[in-house]
Chain A
Amino acid sequence: MATDTVSDSTADHCAPTMMCRHCGNASSGAEFCCEGCAAAYEAAEAVNAINPSNIYASLARPIDHETHQLELIVEGMHCAACVRLIENALAANDDVLSARVNMTTERLTFSWHGTPERGAALAGQIIKLGYKLHDPGDNPAGDIAQNTEKQLLKAIAVAGFAAGNLMLLSIGLWSSTGETMGFATRDFFHWVSALIALPTVIYSGRPFFGSAYAALKERHTNMDVPISLAVILASLMSVSEAYRHGEYVYFDSAVMLLFFLLIGRYLDARAKGKARESASRLLSKLAGSATVITDDGVNRVPIKDLKAGMRLLVAAGENIPADGTILKGETDVDLSLISGETMPNHAGVGSSTLAGTLNLTAPIEIGVTKASEQSLLSEIVRMMETAEQGAAKYVRLADRAASLYTPVVHILSAATFIGWLAWGMPWQVSLLNAVTVLIITCPCALGLAVPVVQVLASGKLLKNGILLKSGDALERIAGVDTIVFDKTGTLTIGRPRLEGGSYQPEDLKLAASMAVHSRHPLSVALTQSYNDALIKLDIQEHPGKGLSAIVDGKNIKLGSRSWCGRESADDHDTAALELWLSVDGNSLAQFKFADALRPDAAAVINAMNDKNIDIHLLSGDRMVIANRIAGELGIEKVIAETSPLEKCDYINRLKQEGRTVLMVGDGLNDAPALAAANVSMSPSSAVDITQNTADIVFQGEQLMPVLDTMLVAKKSNSLVRQNFALAIAYNIFAIPLAVFGYVTPMIAAAAMSGSSLVVILNAFRLRMGRR
């Protein structure tokens, strides 16, 4: 099996070449030119070149009877060189017709001349290069949303074109009167305007008309009802005015209204689309596949189709896909995702495994004991769903504003109509004034107030490595008064780090050269703490014990205390994480490790305390350890030794006390609590399922993003409120003018663009100031 060759293949790639193992760029003595390439290479290793079986072949779509096309999500692309590498690798095959990688959506599309099975072989080439490929799956919701986005963009283009040309004509109309320009010319201008405006209203207005119609059919009203009414009535009124050789037409107002509102609508769709995209990418990772051993070979089977009694092969570095028992092999298992425990557990034949844990050191075969829907993992997922249903639905600020705005506008405009009729005016004049009220009550500023701020805020956060996964997360996080932190992986980095011991520099060099071959967390930590050239070695890995190598005829061992013959020594400390290095049975050096706090954790906690935010530490780990961390950081409320359910209950209790809770966590055991909290964050090192639950995902080794997000959220929330206030202030000034019939088309146009510009400019203040 390909997995047996791990140590061979890794042995040759630590040779001191001067080229990046991944992209072939020059690198300064290191294996990789950048961390991205190293990560990509590692991801490839994890796949361990399992035969890309018929999954890819079955995904191929025939174009005609001889050519096929395949679309796959590529995981592990980090730099532009990756795009080129993949495209060129595929194009080098004579039968490949086209190959293109979309960096934005991380999708690879290629077509070839031949059978579907050929596509699987081509996909295999990409996997060998070091990328993981996923089935993009059916995502009809995503496709529809993307279509809507395109439709909106087209509608904006048409409305923009029309608005520009109408303005050209309107300025002519405004700057002269019927007497100076001639009545015939004025009518001509009116009719040309109608010619441009009417098709535009019909085409670009559809998003609003459709939504308004749907709302009316359900006997509701929404923001789109007054907008549609205003646009349609303004157009009809203007046609009748033009027909009656009237003085004013409002075509430009109607079209400009559409133009501004469409921009707001588009920005909104984009923000939602971004959030949805990142969510669906996480989902596609989750719906992975497992390697099943059957009588006639090895097959990749989707995890959800696993049944009790199946025999699975789990490569080193792969997640264990199902609850079961080990039938063959010996390895170390990383349970941190379930229990929060940092040290891996040793597992041999007969040990039971849990779905979602990570197989670290050696390939194993396991017999599935529970179908995937009964596994502990699924249990947690179910718990999460219950928690999500329990969490009250948040009503967005914009929706609350709209629910106030709509009746007020309708009543005002109806009152205007009735008032003018009662005054004894003809119905045309009354209607005209009623329509101006509808146009001028500033749906533009309202429609732009939230989306512009949101787009700017999420762009700013993204630059700092913070990803918003739900559109209203920013609004919800602004009101947070209580933060609950998980310990491992959230306040700490979640990985052990070299923290002293007793060793010489050359010991570290030797140990790091050995450790680079292992995926054990302590080995990884050792390698990371050493940045110089490595020695090329032939390594054997002994699961649960350590590594061994022969150097200059001497037997070198790196591993546990007992493996290196220090069992009897008196400097025994069971709680410590350590590695020993021995030569021919004599122990030479000791390396000590600890799970370090995030470097800025204390500063961030302090800053939050200053802001009077209540901070809790909620850990699944032992009380002693939790207390020590809390003491270092100055957190007073500590709850330890909690189960996932208890964590979830704790959050619910806090919420019942009337607090707005932000939960920050990374483990699988945190997922239900994340779902229960008002708003949730997780680091990007978290398990997929946890990232998927969290509203916000942040990258990096710092805790600062939590504070940053809160600050940006506060700022953007106050900007949104200011924008609403500006819109209201403007209305107080403009509505009386409209009600009493003083608004000419020119005033309407100036007021509309003026208010929209003010709102947009105000939103841009978010870009200014600190960071």
Chain B
Amino acid sequence: MDILLYLIPIALTLGLVGLVAFLWTLRSGQYDDLDGAPHRILHDDEDDT
């Protein structure tokens, strides 16, 4: 049962990584324009030069 001492923290850490990643996407505004984002990939890269 000692294996649990590793496995549980690992499971928790992996979960936490996912949680932090989600909170980061939320904070950086990636859900603010759900209608615009799918269209943007169709645009060519803007070259301002």
Do A and B come from the same complex? yes
Cα of A105 to Cα of B1 in the assembled complex, Å? 54
A178: chain B residues at CB < 8 Å are none
A157 touches B23 (CB 8 A): yes
Residues of B within 8 A of A161 (CB): 15-16, 18-19
Docked pose: A77 CA to B14 CA in angstroms: 43
Chain B, interface SS category: helix
Binary flags per residue of A90-126, CB closer than 8 Å to B gives 1, else 0: 0110000000011111000000000000000000000
> Cβ of B12 and Cβ of A165 under 8 Å apart?
yes
Query: How far is B12's CA from A285's CA once the two chains are assembled, in angstroms?
Result: 50
Q: Are A102 and B11 in contact (CB under 8 A)?
A: no
Q: Which of B20-42 contact A (CB under 8 A)?
A: 22-23, 26, 31-36, 39-40, 42
Count of chain B residues with a beta carbon within 8 Å of a chain A beta carbon: 24
CB atoms of A103 and B22 under 8 A apart: no
Q: Is the CB of B15 within 8 A of A153?
A: no
Q: Is the CB of A157 within 8 A of B4?
A: no
Does A188 belong to the interface (CB within 8 Å)?
A: yes
What CA separation (Å) do A110 and B28 show in the bound complex? Answer: 17
Q: With an 8 A cutoff between CB atoms, is A168 at the interface?
A: yes
A196-B46 CB under 8 A given contacts A102-B33, A185-B4: no
Chain B residues, CB < 8 A from A768? none
Contact of A91 with B46 at beta-carbon distance under 8 Å, contacts A154-B26, A161-B19 already known: yes
Contact of A83 among B1, B32, B34, B36 (CB under 8 A): B36
Q: Say which residue of A87, A104, A182 sits within 8 Å of B1 (CB atoms).
A: A182
Residue from the list B12, B19, B36 in contact with A103, Cβ < 8 A = B36
Chain A residues within 8 Å of B46, by CB: 87-88, 91
Nearest-CB distance from B32 to chain A (Å)? 6
- Tell me the minimal C-beta distance from B39 to chain A in angstroms: 3
Does A158 lie at the interface of the complex (its beta carbon under 8 Å from any beta carbon of B)?
yes
Query: Considering the chains assembled together, what is the distance between the CA atoms of A220 and B23 in angstroms?
Result: 35
Q: Is A625 part of the contact surface with B, judged by Cβ < 8 Å?
A: no
- The residue that B22 contacts in the complex, of A92, A157, A192, with Cβ under 8 A, is A157
Contacts A92-B48, A103-B35, A105-B33: A168 and B19 contacting too (C-beta < 8 A)?
A: no
CA of A154 to CA of B46 in the docked complex: distance in angstroms?
A: 34
What's the Cα separation between A114 and B39 when bound, in Å? 31
Instruction: Judge whether A585 is part of the interface by a CB distance below 8 angstroms.
Output: no
Q: A84 an interface residue at 8 Å Cβ cutoff?
A: yes
Per the bound structure, the CA–CA distance linking A80 and B31 in Å amounts to: 18
Given contacts A104-B35, A165-B12, A185-B4, contact A80 B19 (CB under 8 A): no
Binary interface profile of A, 166-193, with partner B (CB < 8 Å = 1, else 0)?
A: 0011000000000001100100100010
In the complex, per-residue mask of A69-85: 1 if CB is within 8 Å of any chain B CB, else 0: 00000000000100110
In the bound complex, do residue A188 and residue B4 qualify as a contact, i.e. CB atoms below 8 Å apart? yes
B48 touches A91 (CB 8 A): yes
Q: Give min CB distance, B36 to chain A, whole Å.
A: 3
Chain A residue at minimum C-beta to C-beta distance from B34: A104
Q: Is the interface of A mostly helix, strand, loop or mixed?
A: helix
Among B15, B26, B31, contact of A164 (Cβ-Cβ < 8 Å)? B15
Inter-chain contact A104/B32, CB cutoff 8 Å: yes
| Complex Cα–Cα for A91 and B46 (A) | 9
Asked if B11 contacts A165 (CB within 8 A), the reply is yes
Is B19 in contact with A158, judged by CB distance below 8 angstroms?
yes
Asked whether A157 lies within 8 Å of B39 as measured between CB atoms, the reply is: no
Cross-chain contact A165 with B43 (CB below 8 angstroms): no
Q: How far is B36's CA from A88's CA once the two chains are assembled, in angstroms? A: 15
Which of A175-221 touch B at CB < 8 Å?
181-182, 185, 188, 192, 196
- Shortest C-beta distance, A527 to chain B (Å), equals 31
Chain B, residues 1-17, CB within 8 Å of chain A (1/0): the string is: 10010001001100110
A102 CA / B36 CA spacing, docked (Å): 6
**Is A396 interfacial (CB-CB < 8 Å)?**
no
Nearest-Cβ distance from residue A718 to partner chain B, whole angstroms = 30
Q: How far is the CA of A182 from the CA of B16 in the complex (A)?
A: 28
A150 on the interface (CB 8 Å rule)? yes
- Whether the Cβ atoms of B32 and A80 lie closer than 8 Å is no
Which of A92, A104, A153, A158 meets B36, CB within 8 Å?
A104
Residues from chain A with Cβ under 8 Å of B40 in the complex = 80, 83
Q: How far, in whole Å, are A625 and B46 apart by their CA atoms in the complex?
A: 57
Bound together, the chains give a CA A165 to CA B46 distance in angstroms of: 44
* Residues in A neighbouring B16, C-beta threshold 8 A: 161
Q: Which residues of A contact B33 (CB under 8 A)?
A: 102-105
A101 touches B36 (CB 8 A): yes
Across the interface, which residues of B come within 8 angstroms of A154, CB to CB?
A: 23, 26
Take A103-B33, A158-B19 as given contacts and tell me if A153 and B26 are in contact as well, using a CB distance cutoff of 8 Å.
yes
* Minimum distance in angstroms from B19 CB to a CB of chain A: 4
With both chains docked as a complex, state the minimum distance between the C-beta of A106 and any C-beta of chain B, in angstroms: 10
A131 to chain B, nearest CB (A): 15
User: In the complex, what residue of chain A is closest to B8 when comparing beta carbons?
Assistant: A192
Please determine whether B15 and A102 come into contact, CB atoms closer than 8 angstroms: no
Q: Which of B1, B19, B36 contacts A157 (CB under 8 A)?
A: B19
Q: How far is the CB of A157 from chain B (nearest CB, A)?
A: 5
Chain B residues with Cβ below 8 Å from A169 are 8
Contact B39 A103 (CB under 8 A): yes
Closest to B21 in A: A157
A161 to B22, CA, bound (A): 11
Q: Which residues of A contact B39 (CB under 8 A)?
A: 80, 83, 103
**How many Å from the CB of A719 to the closest CB on chain B?**
26
- Decide: A185 and B26 in contact? CB cutoff 8 A: no
Distance of B1 from chain A, by nearest CB (Å): 6
* Cross-chain contact B1 with A165 (CB below 8 angstroms): no
CA distance A150 to B11 in the complex (A): 27
List A237-257 residues whose CB lies under 8 Å from chain B: none
Q: Fill in one digit per residue for A140-163: 1 if any B CB lies within 8 Å of its CB, else 0.
A: 000000000010011001100100
How many Å lie between the Cα of A606 and that of B42 in the bound state? 46
Interface string of A323-348 (1 = CB under 8 A from B): 00000000000000000000000000
CA of A188 to CA of B9 in the docked complex: distance in angstroms?
A: 13
Query: Which B residues are CB-close (under 8 A) to A103?
Result: 33, 35-36, 39
User: Given A104-B35, A161-B15, A185-B4, A150–B48 Cβ distance below 8 Å?
Assistant: no
Rounded to whole angstroms, the CA-CA distance of A168 and B15 in the bound complex is: 11
Nearest CB in chain B: distance from A524 CB, A: 30
- When distances are taken between beta carbons in the complex, the residues of chain B under 8 Å from A165 are 11-12, 15
Q: How far is the CA of A288 from the CA of B9 in the complex (A)?
A: 59
What is the CB-to-nearest-CB distance from A258 to chain B, in angstroms, rounded to a whole number? 15
A158 to B18, CA, bound (A): 10
Which A residues touch B32, using CB under 8 A? 102, 104-105
Cα separation A661 to B16 with both chains bound (whole Å): 53
Chain B interface (Cβ < 8 Å from any Cβ of A): 1, 4, 8, 11-12, 15-16, 18-19, 22-23, 26, 31-36, 39-40, 42-43, 46, 48
Could you give 20 example pairs across A and B, Cβ below 8 Å?
Answer: A80-B39, A102-B33, A103-B35, A103-B36, A104-B35, A104-B36, A105-B33, A153-B26, A153-B31, A154-B23, A161-B15, A164-B15, A165-B11, A165-B12, A165-B15, A168-B11, A181-B1, A182-B1, A185-B1, A185-B4
Given contacts A91-B48, A104-B36, A105-B33, 11 further A-B contacts (CB under 8 A): A80-B36, A80-B42, A83-B39, A83-B40, A87-B46, A105-B32, A154-B26, A161-B16, A164-B15, A192-B8, A196-B12
Q: Which 4 residue pairs spanning A and B have beta carbons closest together?
A: A103-B36, A80-B39, A161-B19, A102-B33
